[in-house]
Amino acid sequence: MPTHPAPADLFRHGLQLLLEKNIPAWVELWDDDGVFEFPFAPEGRPRRLAGKAAVADYMRGYPDHIDLHDFPHLEIHQTTDPRTIVVEMRAVGRLVRTGSPFEMTYIAVVTVEKGLITHYRDYWNPLTLLQDPASDFTRSSR
């Protein structure tokens, strides 16, 4: 029986891949049928991505828009379901187009099965980026 990383370890590895701007490797952490949800997405933006291909398409240009530098705050909480974690984190970096500082606080609920992300609900405030006219990443309808 193969051993898989714990959800918290997989999540931490995923954050490192995002800092390295290795989006293809980050996408490989996803199950083929994984679902990525954005409950607070503004009108006209995706609220749900179904499948690894949709996640890959959505994330493809991420480093061209947001240059992540660090996750200075990270708390991972285990739930009563060993497959699911709740993550509180803060990301910092810059918006590539303008060089403006980027700072975002997130809460995510992530489920991992057999070492792959099967469900990721990302509770972040896209209005923060929508206030910056150069934030193409959240404006595009990926």
Check which CATH number belongs to the domain holding 107 and give it: 3.10.450.50
Q: Are 97 and 11 in contact (CB under 8 A)?
A: no
Q: Give the whole-angstrom CA distance, residue 9 versus residue 25.
A: 15
Distances (CA, A) of 51 to 13, 17, 84: 20, 20, 18
pLDDT surpasses 90 at 2: no
**Confidence label for 131 from pLDDT (cuts 50, 70 and 90):** low
- For residue 18, give its domain range: 7-139
**Confidence label for 140 from pLDDT (cuts 50, 70 and 90):** very low
pLDDT at 142: 35
Asked, for residue 72, whether it belongs to a domain, the answer is yes
Mean pLDDT (the chain, rounded)? 90
Nearest by Cα to 30 from 100, 108, 110, 129: 110
pLDDT tens digits, residue range 18-57?
999 999 999 999 999 999 999 998 888 899 999 999 999 9
pLDDT at 139: 42
Asked, for residue 19, whether it belongs to a domain, the answer is yes
Asked, for residue 1, whether it belongs to a domain, the answer is no
pLDDT surpasses 50 at 124: yes
Global confidence as pTM:
0.88
Asked, for residue 109, whether it belongs to a domain, the answer is yes
Question: C-alpha angle with apex 49: 44 to 54, nearest 5 degrees?
Answer: 110
Asked, for residue 2, whether it belongs to a domain, the answer is no
Q: Total structural domains in the chain?
A: 1
Selection from 34-43, 76-85, 98-107 with the highest mean pLDDT: 76-85
Q: Average pLDDT, stretch 96-101?
A: 92
Distances (CA, A) of 55 to 23, 47, 75, 119, 123: 10, 12, 24, 11, 16
